[in-house]
A = this chain, B = another copy of it.
C-alpha cells in the first residue's frame, strides 16, 4: 500500500488553490500572482510549477473551484425555494448573484476572458455540472422555436448579464443590495408545462 505523503504539509496543491482564492478575495484579479501564491503557502517561488505547469493551469484550477462554488451556491438556494418552477429559477438566480457578489475576483477570472486550459478534465466537468443546474431548472419551460437550448441560453444570458452589470456599476445605477429584486423584475413571463 502506497502512502502518498508529499513531503511538505500534506497537499500543497490544495494549499495553493486556497491561497489563490484568498488573494482573489482580498485584492481581486490584479492581486493574483504565482509568487504571492507560493509565498502565502510558505513555499519557494518555483514550487507551484510542480502542481501547475504554468499560469494558465493555475487559473484553470481556480476556475474549477469557482464552478464548484457556483454550483453549490445555486443548489443551496434552490433547496430553500418553494416547489414552483418560476420560484426555482428565481432562486437559482439569487444563488448566482450571491456568488458573483461575494467572489468578484474569481468571477472576473472565470468570465473575464482569461485564457484557460480547454483540455483540463476537472475544469470541464465542473463547468458542465454548473450548466446542468441551469439546464434542470429550465426543463419545465415550454419549448419555443429554439427548443430547450434557447430557453437555457435566455435564462443563462439574462442572469449572467445582470450579474456582470451589477458588479460593473456598483456605485451607479444598479443597487447591489436590491439585485435580487431587480432579478425578479427583469425575468420575463415564462410559460410552464403543467
Q: Which residues of A contact B (CB under 8 A)?
A: 28-30, 104-105, 107-108, 111-115, 118, 144-146, 149-150, 153-154, 156-162, 164-165, 167-168, 171, 173-174, 182, 185-186, 188-189
Contact = CB atoms under 8 A, between A and B. Distances in A.
Contacts of A171: 118
Contact of A162 (B104, B118, B157): B157
Nearest to A181: B146
Contact of A146 (B113, B162, B186): B186
A146 B182 contact: yes
9 contacts: A29-B113, A111-B168, A153-B165, A153-B174, A153-B186, A157-B164, A157-B186, A159-B161, A160-B161
Stoichiometry, copies per complex:
2
A158 B154 contact: yes
Contacts of A29: 113
Contacts of A144: 185
A104 to B, nearest CB: 7
A97 B113 CA distance: 16
Contacts of A173: 149, 153
Given A30-B115, A153-B162, A188-B189, 4 more contacts: A107-B113, A118-B171, A153-B173, A154-B186
A99 to B, nearest CB: 15
In order of increasing CB-CB distance, the 5 nearest A-B pairs are A161-B161, A112-B112, A108-B113, A157-B161, A146-B185
A174 B104 CA distance: 25
Contacts of A161: 156-162, 164
A113 B118 contact: no
Contact of A104 (B113, B114, B157, B167): B113
Contacts of A186: 146, 150, 153-154, 157
Contacts of A174: 153
